[in-house]
Amino acid sequence: MDLGKSVRHRALRELVSRRGIRTQRELVAALRGQGIPSTQATMSRDITELGLTKAERNGSIVYVLPTGGSVEQAAEERLRALLREVPLDAAVAGRILVLRTLPGSAHAVAASLDRLRLPEIVGTVAGDDTLFVALADEAGLRSLRARLTSIAEGHSQDSDGR
């Protein structure tokens, strides 16, 4: 990790633990207020890398640090938070799941999927509002599509998250 990223991550952890920050824009502004340059795209990556999720605190929904679990647990929480906030359209092209979402959101969804380390996912490629998820087989493709669609629609999952 480069020095700038390390400083930015430390500052983000401190900001989120001390203040009720609701949006990426507020995070960028708070960092800039401390003399740390950042962009919306960088912020999206940082949120994913730090495992930040949103939770209710003092009557507001704000960013919070992960509550101890593994990287995979933080990624699962982040993915669920993302898919509750942004629309998701899932289509199939061969053994590739094509996910369309809001501009600026595809990378965060892809990074969360990558961090889940699901055996059925061979890899992801993200643009601005579209990501491709290559899957090992048809069963994995159907399972992941159903899982993501269910999360995005707000349905509960069984205990293993599927």
| pLDDT score of 99 | 96
| pLDDT score of 70 | 64
Locate 137 and state its tokens: 């087989």
Instruction: Using alpha carbons, list the distances in angstroms from residue 38 to 7, 11, 24, 52, 118.
Output: 11, 12, 10, 17, 31
CA-closest candidate to residue 41, choices 157, 130, 128 = 128
| pLDDT score of 156 | 44
**SS3 label, residue 124:** strand
CA-closest candidate to residue 48, choices 2, 19, 5, 98 = 5
Alpha helices, DSSP H only, in 19-39? 24-33
Q: Are 94 and 141 in contact (CB under 8 A)?
A: no
| pLDDT score of 2 | 59
Which residue, chain included where needed, has tokens 């990556």? 45
| pLDDT score of 68 | 64
Residue 135: φ, ψ to 5° = -115, 150
| pLDDT score of 108 | 85
Which domains are seen in the chain, by residue range? Answer: 3-64 (1.10.10.10), 71-152 (3.30.1360.40)
Each of the 162 residues of the chain gets a pLDDT tens digit; together they read 556 888 899 999 999 988 899 999 999 999 999 999 998 888 988 888 888 888 888 888 999 887 766 667 777 888 888 888 888 899 999 999 999 999 988 988 998 898 888 899 999 999 999 999 999 999 999 999 999 998 888 764 433 443
**Per this entry, what is the length of the chain?**
162
